[in-house]
Amino acid sequence: DAKTTQPNSMESNEEEPVHLPCNHSTISGTDYIHWYRQLPSQGPEYVIHGLTSNVNNRMASLAIAEDRKSSTLILHRATLRDAAVYYCILRANGNKLVFGAGTILRVKS
Amino acid sequence: GAVVSQHPSRVICKSGTSVKIECRSLDFQATTMFWYRQFPKQSLMLMATSNEGSKATYEQGVEKDKFLINHASLTLSTLTVTSAHPEDSSFYICSASSGLSNTEAFFGQGTRLTVV
């Protein structure tokens, strides 16, 4: 499974944008980049995914580097409810979904 | 997004007994389901992958005779923890997916298992 590297933790102020980085230098051409987040004592929640182009949805934006070796999840205005562990995962067809350590995001009011 | 219902959300059982956890995909057909366990302050650890109608594929180190997985239909998968011991106490999470890389996976709310 292709590996991802994320910072252990990040901190943000409420109402400010947050940029969560992910490095995946061994990504293959058909791997999709997925982001999920997990709140305490809950199952993970899908956030966004993409292949090459930047993606936007109601929750976040995903910026993918041109060489695809890194990506950034962007929360445009962090709220207290965005405090969670964010996981960046590479997924290929038919392959399992393997979680790394993720980034703990803390949001300060 | 799609809804995945996991039941029960909490269960306490006696050591030596078996516990069954159900994972239902309520509004889409899940060809692939994943089962994870998670210890406090740790990430999700993949236990096994099951495809509908096939035997589950277990990750290295996961005992298939202890953690029985059944994926008999496109909407239901079950995980049975047999002869549970206190060290099996954990948070178990299921995920339902189409198996394609360009589609998202959906997760159940998790089951907190405590073996006493």
> Can you spell out the DSSP letters for A41-92?
TS--EEEEEESSS-EE-SS-EEEE-TTSSEEEEEESS--GGG-EEEEEEEE-
What gap in Å lies between CA A32 and CA B6, rounded to an integer?
Answer: 27
pLDDT in tens, A62-90: 999 999 999 999 999 999 999 999 999 99
Backbone angles phi, psi at B86, to 5 degrees: -55, -30
pLDDT at B29 (0 to 100): 85
Contacts of B45 in chain A (CB under 8 A): 99
Query: Rounded to an integer, what distance in angstroms lies between the CA atom of residue A23 and that of residue A16?
Result: 23
Check CB contact under 8 Å for A97 and B46.
yes
Mutate to test the interface with B, among A24, A28, A32, A46 (most CBs of B within 10 A): A46
Question: HSE on the CB side for A76, CA within 13 Å?
Answer: 7
| CB nearest to A30's CB, from B6, B99, B101 | B101
Which residue out of B23, B36, B38, B44 would a mutagenesis test of the A interface target, given it has the greatest number of A Cβ atoms within 10 Å? B44
B75 contact A CB<8A? no
Question: What tokens appear for B77 in the block?
Answer: 């998968």
- Token pair for B41: 């302050």
Instruction: Classify strands A70-75 and A61-64 as parallel, antiparallel or unpaired.
Output: antiparallel
CA distance B48 to chain A (A): 9
Partners of B32 in the β-ladder:
B51, B97
pLDDT at B31: 86
A22 vs A24: CA distance, rounded Å:
7
Query: How far apart, in Å, are the Cα atoms of B42 and each of A56, B21, B81?
Result: 29, 21, 21
Q: Is B110 on the interface with A (CB under 8 A)?
A: yes
What pLDDT is attached to residue A73? Answer: 98
Taking any CB pair shorter than 8 Å as contact, residues of chain A touching chain B are 30-32, 34, 36, 38, 41-46, 49, 51, 85, 87, 91-102
Q: What is the pLDDT along chain B (116 residues), one digit of tens a residue?
A: 678 999 999 999 999 999 999 999 998 888 889 999 999 999 999 999 988 888 899 999 999 999 999 988 889 999 999 999 999 999 999 999 887 777 889 999 999 999 99
**B105 exposed, middle or buried (CB, 10 Å; 0-12, 13-18, 19+)?**
buried
**What mean pLDDT, rounded, does chain A reach?**
94
Q: Which residues of A touch B112 (CB under 8 A)?
A: 41
End-to-end CA distance of chain A: 38
Residue by residue, pLDDT tens for chain A (109 residues) are: 668 999 999 999 999 999 999 999 999 988 999 999 999 999 999 999 999 999 999 999 999 999 999 999 999 999 999 999 999 999 887 778 889 999 999 999 9
Cβ distance of B101 and A95 shorter than 8 Å: yes
The partner residue sitting opposite B109, judged by closest CB among A43, A93, A101, is A43
